[in-house]
Amino acid sequence: MKQLPWILGVFCAFQFASAATEDVRVEKDVEYLAAGREEKADLCLPASVPKDQRCPGIVIIHGGGWSGGDKGAAREINIGTTLARHGYVCMSINYVLAAKGTTAVTWPQNLHDCKTAVRWLRKNAARLQLDPDHIGAIGGSAGGHLTAMLALTDAKDGLDPKEPYGEFSCRIQAAVDLYGPADLLTWHDISMFRKKRTEAPELYRAASPATYADKNDPPILIMHGTADKTVDVQQSRDFDAALAKAGTSHALVIVEGAPHTFHLQPKQQDLRPIVLGFFDRYLKKAK
């Protein structure tokens, strides 16, 4: 919580641009994974970009308990259109799911898919008028967990996929974690592992964002509602403490009265100025 006054400073300084009323361009069902994969991505792009300009990129990761959800859900559309109207190239992805009725282990392939999305953006930077050195991610719930893992892990942790696009970095430069679980050992059993916590505590620990916090991680903004009955707000408070102990640049915003699964405009508080101010600070080049 020590860094909360800093993020409030960003909030106070931010003013919405006229772009908030402009339209965006959408490309549906773009193939971004290896050949044969069913999961696709939707691109949400600024309506027009000057030829000499390069935009920062954002990977949007949906929630759904790692077993459901979709790239085109209401929250993801809200986030994508908000950011695209503010000059970001957005990529909302579907990733492998631990669907009900199946027994396939989907961890860490789901994280690999998120990392591949970052590489795909860099590979296609010229076509998208993307700045490959300034890419962030945002996700809610299970997507918040994957966003945090994307931000805090790198090649040394053994969680980067070898292919596709192995010549490009998976590293991102900023992340927004919306009410994602950060310490899976203190949560509950999760279907993507096909093992219980008591059976594989090291697996749960290795899939927990809090495990990887260090001072070299990119900045992280955490947002969580006090009325969340799916992921207790204490998960984010403990994550905040772990990041502070590690020296990671971060901020925690507690939204009073907000339940689980809110987007950037819940009735409790308009979060657009905070999120846009955060991404602008770290992903947009100084003029």
Q: Calculate Rg over the CA atoms of the chain.
A: 18
Distance CA 19, CA 24 (A): 10
Which CATH number covers residue 114?
3.40.50.1820
Give the residue, 1 or 126, on which the prediction is more confident: 126
| pLDDT recorded at residue 124 | 98
| pLDDT grade for 135, boundaries at 50, 70 and 90 | very high
No. of H helices and E strands in the chain?
A: 8, 8
User: Rounded to whole angstroms, what are the CA distances from 236 to 109, 207, 232?
Assistant: 24, 16, 8
| pLDDT recorded at residue 11 | 46
Distance CA 111, CA 178 (A): 17
Residues in the chain: 287
Do the bridges between strand 89-93 and strand 41-46 make them parallel or antiparallel, or are there none, so unpaired? Answer: antiparallel
Distance CA 280, CA 56 (A): 9
Number of domains in the chain: 1
Segments forming the whole domain that contains residue 99: 4-283
CB 59 within 8 A of CB 135: yes
- Output DSSP code: residue 244: H
| pLDDT grade for 260, boundaries at 50, 70 and 90 | very high
Distance CA 163, CA 171 (A): 15
Report pLDDT digits (tens) over 190-223: 999 999 999 999 999 999 999 999 999 999 999 9
Amino acid type, 41: A
CB 144 within 8 A of CB 63: yes
